[in-house]
Amino acid sequence: MAEFKIDAKCSESSARLGTLLINNQKIKTPVFMPVGTYGAVKTLMPNEISSIGYNLILANTYHMFLRPGIDVLKQSKGLHNFMNWNGLILTDSGGFQIYSLKGLRKIEDSGASFQSHLSGDQHKLTPENVIDIQRVLGSDIMMMLDVCPSGDGSTKEWENAVNLTTKWAKAAHEYYKSTDGYYNKEQLLVPIVQGGTDVYLREKSASELLKLESSIYAIGGLAVGEPKEEMLESVAFMDTILPKNKPRYLMGVGTPVDLIENVRLGVDMFDCVMPTRNARNGQLFLSDGPLNIRNSKYFNDHSPIDEKSTSKMSTTFTKSYLHHLFKTKEVLGLRIATEHNLHFYFQLMKKMRREINSNNFMKWSTKVIDNYRRDSDEQC
Amino acid sequence: MAEFKIDAKCSESSARLGTLLINNQKIKTPVFMPVGTYGAVKTLMPNEISSIGYNLILANTYHMFLRPGIDVLKQSKGLHNFMNWNGLILTDSGGFQIYSLKGLRKIEDSGASFQSHLSGDQHKLTPENVIDIQRVLGSDIMMMLDVCPSGDGSTKEWENAVNLTTKWAKAAHEYYKSTDGYYNKEQLLVPIVQGGTDVYLREKSASELLKLESSIYAIGGLAVGEPKEEMLESVAFMDTILPKNKPRYLMGVGTPVDLIENVRLGVDMFDCVMPTRNARNGQLFLSDGPLNIRNSKYFNDHSPIDEKSTSKMSTTFTKSYLHHLFKTKEVLGLRIATEHNLHFYFQLMKKMRREINSNNFMKWSTKVIDNYRRDSDEQC
């Protein structure tokens, strides 16, 4: 059975160091999960992901349901085999993706109907069948279907989202208990707290979901367009009502500084496309801030990508070469940038874990946040 | 000094096994060179190229002259450093590329003027300055500037090409002898025999170039649109007039069967974009012929990419997964296909070397050619 153990706590913030054990694999928290929407962390091989240090990645149920579909995934005995990944996989349910399909989807009490953006076919995801799909995927951590409105939605929209998310969570929980997986492994089911940035709704959502006594709680509906300060206030509030002895997963966050600030607020798990997507646009995360390698000032700059980093990419390639690869549209450039950024994110989480362990986290994090340039010298 | 030693000869054809020593690195011939036009073999890291077994790649002088330009390459102390490649590099001079720029270029006695397809700037490549550029690149093997008309050109066009290529070759040779490289290394200069598929012109071109007593002779102006049979006849003719004790490099060839047929005709060196470019279009070279992985029949085919291959990509990924990556436009698919194809080409050359060594080459090659499906099940 999955276990979560808190190994150390920061005395000045809610930050904590933990170990999450699932299917005989240990995840050190706080942890960042690289995003592999379609069963591939873009541009990289599975062994490269694990060489960086990652043993937990995210894939997307909605996208894998559409392509390649569950027949192929059943034949391959799950996503781990399909993509040849030996680590753990968390699968997002697709609530966020479906809600974004404005005009193509219909949210009903029984689930979310939508038209495939690929084939035009009609599909329906329900609290129950997203579990079936994730059973086939063999996800180690399955996310419940939720309703995820945007951060600038109305309170009424948020309230409806909370109500339906709660209803779906109860149905999902019942269904989950009555079914088994395909691969003789544990598959955790995680509810998602909604409520926008409204304290009353967040409390309402959490209090209902806590009754399910799940092993992990996710904070959804943030980093979806609301002001940064309101996001942080909402997470700070969640910290006061979510159980301390269970991992909290803040979905879709974020920048290096976002990660530090939310670890302070007691968040244990993160995922975000930022290190991988921004890499493909030329944005590299360096020790003192981001840069955009397409900027002409790197044309003849033969220094390592990040002089303060031991990243394999930094010690192998120069800024000038990477600039050249981006200018000539060489795919190798996307790989180098992606591997570099995922290395940076992994090392950042590792550093946070060390600083929490030595109870130096607040001092360290204050200094890092003060010194970190938040903006690239060129927009992505 | 560079050396070429013939280690074994086929008793039934002109095929030979050899060792070419340049700058303390040994190249076993017949050899295939992966193409890295812009200083990157598309999608792959330098260490992946060498892991497959390659220690000689091709880059293009014309393209690197335009991007990133010689200032950057001089600063980085040559292309090997720039791209972090420890093997050898042959650089094509750009004659072929410039000749293709119809309307944008002017061929004169003194060189080829052209307008950059990128910036619109006017440039001129001469027999002398392409050596200067390749000196900066630090190429181990430098190709002379040549005039390369298409395979369906007129005899008059081919004759003019031979005359000017000869004139340029003499100027290049003189200039080469009077200059030194930058990096204290040997840089071979290779003339290119032209003449289309005309025996008289081929002989004329070769007899002039042989006076230069170069270490390697290239056969240019083939695989540029002429019928396959005429190409093979021309190479067979070249075999009778080029010195047996020097490597022959057939430029821009070819398919797996082309390589076998031309090794029979005494060719020692090849380059071609086919394994890398076709990979990016989904064409994979397998032991018994090519296939196109985008074909829907691979959608749910969970067999290895090539069941008869020990390629790392074949033993790691299935056809179904690679099909999925192509359908979802994942860059990882381009990598897997490229690495697979370059592994296939390397193993094919290695197999040819073994069969020549055991004097079984004709028997082996006849069987392979008879059994190899030449066409993919889907066009690229």
Chain A nearest CA to B4, separation (Å) = 33
Q: Closest residue of A to B327, CA-based?
A: A67
Put simply, the answer to whether B327 touches A72 (Cβ < 8 Å) is: no
Size of interface A-B (CB pairs under 8 A): 103
Q: What is residue B380's predicted lDDT score, i.e. its pLDDT?
A: 39
Catalytic residue among A239, A258, A271, A306: A271
pLDDT tens by residue, A54-66: 999 999 999 999 9
pLDDT profile of chain B (380 residues), mean per 10: 96 98 98 98 98 98 96 98 98 88 90 90 96 98 94 92 98 97 95 97 98 98 94 98 98 97 98 98 95 97 94 95 98 98 98 98 97 66
Q: What is residue B377's predicted lDDT score, i.e. its pLDDT?
A: 54
- ipTM of the complex model: 0.97
Q: Closest residue of A to B38, CA-based?
A: A328
Whether A96 shows a pLDDT value over 90: the answer reads no
Q: What is residue B376's predicted lDDT score, i.e. its pLDDT?
A: 61
3-state SS, chain B, equals CCEEEEEEECCCCCCEEEEEEECCEEEEECEEECECCCCCCCCCCHHHHHHHCCCEEEEEHHHHHHCCCHHHHHHCCCHHHHHCCCCEEEEECCHHHHHHCCCCEEEECCEEEEECCCCCCEEEECCCHHHHHHHHHCCCEEECCCCCCCCCCCHHHHHHHHHHHHHHHHHHHHHHHCCCCCCCCCCEEECEECCCCCHHHHHHHHHHHHCCCCCCEEECCCCCCCCHHHHHHHHHHHHHHCCCCCCEEECCCCCHHHHHHHHHCCCCEEECCHHHHHHHCCEEEECCEEEECCCHHHCCCCCECCCCCCCHHHHHCEHHHHHHHHHCCCHHHHHHHHHHHHHHHHHHHHHHHHHHHCCCHHHHHHHHHHHCCCCCCCCC
Question: Across residues A251-270, what is the average pLDDT?
Answer: 97
Chain B nearest CA to A90, separation (Å) = 19
d(CA B199, CA A374): 67
Look up B146 and say whether it is catalytic: no
B-contacting residues in A 284-313 (Cβ below 8 Å)? 299-300, 302
**Residue A377 pLDDT class (50, 70, 90 cuts):** low
Whether A380 shows a pLDDT value over 60: the answer reads no
d(CA B270, CA B51): 19
Chain A nearest CA to B141, separation (Å) = 22
- Helix (H) or strand (E) run with residue A248 in it: strand A248-250
Q: Closest residue of A to B322, CA-based?
A: A83
Which 3 state secondary structure label does DSSP give A78? coil
B-contacting residues in A 316-345 (Cβ below 8 Å)? 316-318, 320-321, 323-325, 327-328, 330-332, 334-335
Q: What is residue B97's predicted lDDT score, i.e. its pLDDT?
A: 87
Whether A99 shows a pLDDT value over 90: the answer reads no
Report the percentage of chain A scoring pLDDT > 70.
98
Put simply, the answer to whether B324 touches A72 (Cβ < 8 Å) is: yes
Tell me which residue in B42, B68, B318 faces A331 most closely, judged by beta carbons.
B42
A-contacting residues in B 35-54 (Cβ below 8 Å)? 38-40, 42-45
Chain A nearest CA to B151, separation (Å) = 29
Which 3 state secondary structure label does DSSP give A6? strand
Q: pTM of the full predicted structure? A: 0.97
Pairing mode, if any, of strands B217-219 and B248-250? parallel
**By the CB < 8 Å criterion, does A233 face chain B?**
no
Residues in chain B: 380
Q: What is residue B98's predicted lDDT score, i.e. its pLDDT?
A: 86
User: Greater confidence, A181 or B375?
Assistant: A181
Tell me which residue in B83, B302, B332 faces A45 most closely, judged by beta carbons.
B332
Average per-residue pLDDT in chain A? 95
Question: Across residues A198-218, what is the average pLDDT?
Answer: 98
Q: What is residue A379's predicted lDDT score, i.e. its pLDDT?
A: 43
Q: Please give the single-letter amino acid code of residue A244.
A: K
Instruction: Mutate one of B67, B72, B73, B136 to test the A interface: name it (highest A CB count within 10 A).
Output: B72
Look up A92 and say whether it is catalytic: yes
Residue B331: list chain A partners with CB under 8 A.
42-43, 331, 334-335
DSSP string, A122-148: EEEE-TTHHHHHHHHHT-SEEEPP---
Put simply, the answer to whether A299 touches B72 (Cβ < 8 Å) is: yes
Residue with tokens 């033993």: B315
CB of B34 closer than 8 Å to CB of B87: no
Q: Closest residue of A to B330, CA-based?
A: A42
